[in-house]
């Protein structure tokens, strides 16, 4: 998933399997320059890096921001899983230049984008991001452990989401599934809508769907989320899918 502004280098959200497809839209002649905002290093958020064609070319550059790990820096931990025998190429052997930046509770400028990083409750060190760029604001909270009771939102998450134009948020479970997996690091669809309501978000994009849900089940969950959103006063809810593109226009 990526956020782009004409004439500026892209921001990429996490390095999951979708990165391969994104790579086909990026230059592979060594001119690629971009930034990845990684929330945490669970497999589904980092596995795409070796399959990103632009970074296999000399001259390309990728800056990777992500939470500092208990076992060492982000750089060190990437070196422990992107290496033989898990993958034949160690990340240090990539032809492009990959630079790592440890973050947790930081306010950054990346190009013309203002990027706010805050801790997010999940399993292990995890952050979320808020980007204010070219007159629009986007928050990305990919994996979010809801608290027991499902009725409070952490101050850090509220700060990231406060009044954003678009919130991309975890929406993995039904209430029944959450009861079975309440410590698996995720939340219900309705909790995502609650976060949007509490932070006065304008457009909520449901993301990180449960891989066991069918398209029909996702449509039902979306219908339910829209009912909840109407009740809560959240203006718009969408469900993310592969290939979805959103134009986000600055508010007058
Ligand atoms: Zn995770
Ligand atoms: Zn995940």
Q: Could you state, in order of their start, the residue ranges of all structural domains in the chain?
A: 1-104, 135-240
CB atoms within 10 A of CB 25: 10
Nearest ligand to the CA of 41 is 1
- Give dist(CA 152, CA 134) in Å, integer: 31
CA of 94 to the centre of ligand 2 (A): 25
Residue 149 pLDDT > 80: no
CA of 52 to the centre of ligand 1 (A): 21
CA of 226 to the centre of ligand 1 (A): 25
CA of 210 to the centre of ligand 1 (A): 12
What is the pLDDT, as a whole number, of residue 6?
A: 93
Nearest ligand to the CA of 17 is 2
Residue 252 pLDDT > 70: no
CA of 201 to the centre of ligand 2 (A): 22
What is the pLDDT, as a whole number, of residue 29?
A: 96
Which CATH number describes the domain made up of 135-240?
3.60.15.10
CA of 42 to the centre of ligand 2 (A): 6
- Relative to beta strand 136-141, strand 203-207 is unpaired
Nearest ligand to the CA of 123 is 1
CA of 15 to the centre of ligand 2 (A): 11
Average pLDDT over residues 104-122: 97
What is the pLDDT, as a whole number, of residue 72?
A: 87
CA of 39 to the centre of ligand 1 (A): 8
Give the DSSP letter string of 172-241.
Answer: -B-HHHHHHSTTSS--BHHHHHHHHHHTT-SEEEEES--TT--HHHHHHHHHHHHHHHHHHT--EEEE--
Mean pLDDT rounded to a whole number for the chain = 95
Residue 102 pLDDT > 90: yes
Q: What percent of the chain has pLDDT over 90?
A: 90
CA of 221 to the centre of ligand 2 (A): 19
CA of 149 to the centre of ligand 1 (A): 21
CA of 98 to the centre of ligand 2 (A): 22
CA of 208 to the centre of ligand 2 (A): 7
Asked whether the beta carbons of 42 and 72 are under 8 A apart, the reply is no
Q: What is the pLDDT of residues 33-89, one digit of tens each?
A: 999 999 999 999 999 999 999 999 999 999 999 998 887 899 999 889 899 999 998
């Amino acid at each position: 998933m990526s956020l782009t502004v004409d004439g500026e280098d892209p921001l990429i959200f996490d390095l999951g399997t979708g990165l391969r497809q994104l790579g086909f839209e990026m230059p592979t002649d060594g001119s690629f320059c971009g930034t990845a905002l990684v929330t945490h290093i669970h497999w589904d958020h980092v596995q795409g890096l070796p399959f990103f064609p632009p970074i296999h070319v000399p001259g390309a550059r990728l800056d990777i921001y992500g939470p500092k790990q208990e076992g060492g820096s982000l750089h060190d931990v990437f070196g422990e899983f992107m290496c033989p025998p898990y993958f034949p190429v160690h990340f240090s052997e990539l032809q492009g230049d990959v630079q790592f930046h440890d973050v947790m509770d930081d306010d950054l400028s990346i190009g013309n984008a203002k990027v706010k990083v805050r801790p997010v409750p999940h399993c292990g060190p995890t952050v979320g991001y808020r980007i204010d760029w070219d007159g629009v604001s986007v928050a990305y909270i990919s994996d979010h452990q809801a608290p027991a009771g499902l009725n409070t939102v952490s101050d850090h998450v509220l700060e990231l989401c406060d009044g954003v134009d678009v919130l991309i948020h975890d929406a993995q479970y039904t209430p029944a599934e959450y009861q079975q997996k309440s410590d698996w690091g995720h939340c219900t669809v309705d909790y995502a809508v609650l976060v949007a309501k509490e932070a006065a978000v304008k457009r909520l994009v449901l993301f990180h769907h449960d891989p066991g849900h069918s398209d029909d089940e996702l449509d039902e969950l979306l219908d339910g989320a829209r009912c909840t959103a109407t009740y809560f006063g959240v203006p718009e809810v969408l469900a993310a899918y592969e290939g979805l593109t959103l134009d986000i226009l600055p508010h007058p």
